[in-house]
Amino acid sequence: MSIEINLQALLEAILLAAAKPLTEEQLLNLFEEEERPSIDVLREALGDLQNACEMRGIELIEVASGYRFQVKQKWVPWVGKLWDEKPQKYSRALLETLALIAYRQPITRGEIEDIRGVAVSTSIFKTLLEDREWIRMVGHKEVPGRPALFATTKGFLDYFGLKSLQELPSLPDIMNLETGNLDLLEQPLLPIPEIESQLTAECLEIAEMEEMEDVETE
């Protein structure tokens, strides 16, 4: 095999077939030692592959867990018509809780409740911790009662197409939740080849203020 000629096509095949994002190390480990490209050559090929997608319906991006192909956001409305099932809408309470964890992490449940002014239901934490695996417990705050501290996971970053928390959009008025400024929680880009499961999974859709009551139910 000629690495110089076939590396870009090989990487495209690998990433299209992968069921999850792959890191540079994972990609390199797929090669036998005698044919393994250098990290610089690998990165150059990945860059060329990203540029090659400029006029295509998919793109190659790097998220927290590695590289993956996904449908470009502007084509999602058309692609979504392939499936009848509509994504479930999450409550405003869940979206606010997730936003606070993302921007104020690590944060305790009590601190979230103090900011929002209402209690956070157990079902919301179950959804974020267990069902979606978007948050995790990262320790305990050294105050009486030692409440648990929560932060976001790589799964959260992957789902929203982010490489790191530094890529989160600026939200200086996160404290002013009544403004409804939760635009960071748009529907994620759809990865390939898991596009069907993403479309039929629960997706975040922010309802307009007048259509949602500020309740703790989902």
Assigned domain for 203 exists: no
Do 173 and 131 share a structural domain? yes
Do 104 and 41 share a structural domain? no
> What pLDDT does residue 91 have?
83
Do 31 and 108 share a structural domain? no
Assigned domain for 192 exists: no
Last residue of a domain, which of 47, 82, 117? 82
- Tens-digit pLDDT profile for residues 112-121: 999 989 999 9
Assigned domain for 19 exists: yes
Assigned domain for 151 exists: yes
Per the structure, the count of domains in the chain is 2
DSSP letter at 22 equals B
Average pLDDT value over all residues in the chain: 79
Cα distance between residue 213 and residue 211, in whole Å: 7
Do 166 and 115 share a structural domain? yes
* 125 — pLDDT class (breaks 50, 70, 90): very high
Assigned domain for 212 exists: no
Do 70 and 47 share a structural domain? yes
* Structural domain that includes position 34: 3-82
Cα distance between residue 49 and residue 17, in whole Å: 15
Last residue of a domain, which of 82, 117, 140? 82
For 59-91, b/e burial (b = at least 16 CB within 10 A) is: bbbbbbbbbbbbbeeeebeeebeeeeeebebbb
**Token output for 112:** 């979230």
CATH number at residue 10: 1.10.10.10
Cα distance between residue 167 and residue 157, in whole Å: 9
Is the per-residue pLDDT at 212 higher than 80?
A: no
Do 180 and 98 share a structural domain? yes
> What pLDDT does residue 23 have?
96
The continuous run of DSSP H or E covering 33 comes out as: none
Average the pLDDT over 66-73 and give the result. 92
Share of the chain above pLDDT 70, in %: 73
Q: How far separated are the first and last CA of the chain, in Å rounded?
A: 54
* 172 — pLDDT class (breaks 50, 70, 90): low
Whole-model pTM?
A: 0.71
Assigned domain for 159 exists: yes
Assigned domain for 205 exists: no
- Tens-digit pLDDT profile for residues 14-55: 999 998 999 999 999 999 888 899 999 999 999 999 999 999
- 178 compared with 73, residue with greater pLDDT: 73
Do 100 and 33 share a structural domain? no
| Upper half-sphere CA count for residue 55 (Cβ side, 13 Å) | 0
Is the per-residue pLDDT at 148 higher than 50?
A: yes
| Segment among 57-71, 82-96, 105-119 with least mean pLDDT | 82-96
